[in-house]
Structure formats: structure tokens, C-alpha cells
Amino acid sequence: MESVLSGGIVERICREIESCSDTAALTSLVGVLGNVCRGIAGFRRSEEAKKKAKQPKEGKDEAEHTNEDNDSFSIFVRSGHALEMAKQTLLQLVSRMRTGKDDVEEEEGRRRTRLNQMVGGVLIEFFAETVGGGRAERVGAIEGRRQEREEEERRKAMEQAPIIPTAVWEPKLTSRVEGTKIISTTTSWVTIPLAAVLTEGVWLVEVKAGPVIGYALGFFRTPWDQDWSKCLGNDPNSVDYNKDGSFFHALGLKKCGKGDEWAAGDVVGVEVDMQQRRALFFKNGKRQPTIFTAIPPKVQVAVSLYEKNEASMELVTFKQLARTSFQTGADDKTVAW
């Protein structure tokens, strides 16, 4: 027990947490650290209660009494240092978990959420046990305001300048990437997706058409169960906005309406709203009348190209929006997925 109270075990657990990168293992370590901290905090409460109630026993040797007090006080101080070490380790872990949190797979995202919940619970309990009532609430309020400021700054930055990744295409078949441009050299259809899987938020993707016989912009349910040599919109798990202005879903089994035709040099876009599960299409900034609703919870934006020689599409905009641009139009045609 003295090893626990003096910080030896806490130090070993903290070292394990600092060197560990596996989310599941970190969750277990945080659980163990929380239990150890609760034991230490219980000891400290007990010692504080003893000090208040303690009276020198009649006839007891004063030197012996002093030695006992010194030993108890030494352990009490070291246990406080152990709790402080645990707190700092957990706060550093929170900072680590924020890094790259948007670039993880769905299952890893769930594991990180569980870990963050556990860390938050231990920290709240820890603050309450070691620095007095009300501290946890103040810390939570300060952290909340900090997160709100960061979110507002992130939104402003995204609104001011689009994010244009240099290599977000996933080349398929004979296609290749050159900067923000995807180039296909196949003599038949090829569908090429962007790597980003959209699951939350509102996203705008715009591409500039190059000279090509046939092309389309759209998106599909992730994962897509079709051959990459198929055009978007030919199956129930994808939709597209074709160069002739037609909108396709399930190979025309659903009447999806028609918008403006587009050609080489035009910029066409799609706004994917994962909050409302809705998708809008644009030509040179003008919204098209067809609106897709009840879209799947996980989608990827893609283009389909057809050319006898070399075809290309260039990524112009890939950014998250603070809010949807949707406004009701007189000619709107809603198509449920």
C-alpha cells in the first residue's frame, strides 16, 4: 500500500500511458490509474480527518508520537505529488487525443470517444478530490469557452480560404494524379473517388472540367460495391450530375430531374450536408433544382470520366462549411435516396 501512496505505482502507470499509442490499451491504463487515484484520495481524506480528531494519548512517549506524525506526513506529501503527476499525465493525454482526431477511421473514432469520456470522468473526480469543490466546474467552463473560440476560429478560416489538398484523389484503373488534377487514360468509363469519407458536417466539393467526351460529378455510399469501370448513378448506391444536365440514381429508375448542361472549363460542385442528410449540386456557383435527401450516413464524392484519349478533372474546392447554403427554390425537385 505504501508503494501506491508514495507514487511508485502511479509513476509506472504514467510512464506506460506516455509511451502507449494504442487507444484500447490507453483506456485500460486510464481505468487503472483512476482506481489508484481514488484509493490515494481516500487515504488523504482519512488522514485529514485523523488530524482533526487526533489528541495526544496520555502517557505516550512524545518522541514516538512525533516520529509517527513525521512518517504519516511524509507519505501524505508524496501521495499529493502522485496525484499531481496523474493529473498532468491525463491532461497531456487529452492534448494528444486532439491531434489528428479528424483523420481516424470510424471504429477508432468510437474508441477515442470512450477514452476521452473516461479521461474526462477521472479528471473531474480528481479535481473535486484535490483542489476543492467548484474547481471542476470552473475548469469545465474554461475548457468549454476555449473550445468555442477554437471552433469559431476554425470556421472563419474555412470560410475565408478553401482547403485544396494536393493529393486527395484515389486513382483507379489507369488514372493518375498530378497535383489537384486527376487524369484518366482509359478508353472507357472510370470512376475516381476522393479519399475523404464524409460522415458529419457540411462539405463543398468543386471540380473544373477538362476536355472530355463524357463526365459526371456525384457521390456514392461507402463502401461502394460497384466496378470502378462503371459510371456513377447507374446503381442504387450512387448519384451523379451528368454533363448533359441530367441527374441519375439507380440508372434512371427514379426520375431525378434535369439541370444546366456543362462543358470543359465549367466548375461544377456538390454540397453534401451530413447533418440534414441532403445533397445539392451547382454549375458555376448556380444551384441546380434537383435535391437529394435521406442520403447514406457515409459517402464519398467522386467523378466519372469517359474519353478515347486522355480525360481530366481538376479539384478546385474541398472545404467544410459553417452552415448549409440551402434556400428553397420555386423549381426544386426533391429525390429521396
pLDDT at 162: 47
Q: Which of 130, 152, 185 is the last residue of a domain?
A: 130
Indicate whether 105 and 188 sit together in one domain: no
Global pTM exceeds 0.85 = no
Residue 249 sits in a domain of what CATH number? 2.60.120.920
Residue 253 lies in a domain: yes
Task: Sheet containing 238-242: give its strands across.
Answer: 190-193, 299-306, 214-221, 238-242, 247-249
Indicate whether 225 and 309 sit together in one domain: yes
Residue 153 lies in a domain: no
> Sign of the C-alpha dihedral, residues 193, 197, 202, 203?
negative
Indicate whether 188 and 326 sit together in one domain: yes
pLDDT at 160: 52
Give the total number of structural domains in the chain: 2
Indicate whether 180 and 329 sit together in one domain: yes
pLDDT at 99: 60
Indicate whether 192 and 324 sit together in one domain: yes
Residue 250 lies in a domain: yes
pLDDT at 219: 96
Indicate whether 121 and 217 sit together in one domain: no
Contact, 178 vs 166, CB < 8 A? no
pLDDT at 27: 85
pLDDT at 145: 62
Cα torsion 175, 100, 203, 157 to 10°: value is: -120
Indicate whether 209 and 309 sit together in one domain: yes
pLDDT at 3: 53
State which residues form the domain around 29. 2-130
Report the SS3 class of residue 143. Answer: helix
Q: Which of 103, 130, 157 is the last residue of a domain?
A: 130
Task: Identify the segments of the chain with pLDDT beneath 70.
Answer: 1-7, 54-73, 98-106, 125-167, 212-213, 252-255, 307-309
Residue 143 lies in a domain: no
Contact, 116 vs 24, CB < 8 A? no
pLDDT at 296: 94
Per this entry, what is the length of the chain?
337
Distance CA 157, CA 43 (A): 49
Find all residues with CB under 8 Å of 220, minimum gap 6, and list them.
193, 226, 232, 237, 238, 239, 299, 300, 302
pLDDT at 129: 39
pLDDT at 67: 53
Indicate whether 122 and 203 sit together in one domain: no
Contact, 286 vs 267, CB < 8 A? no
Indicate whether 220 and 314 sit together in one domain: yes
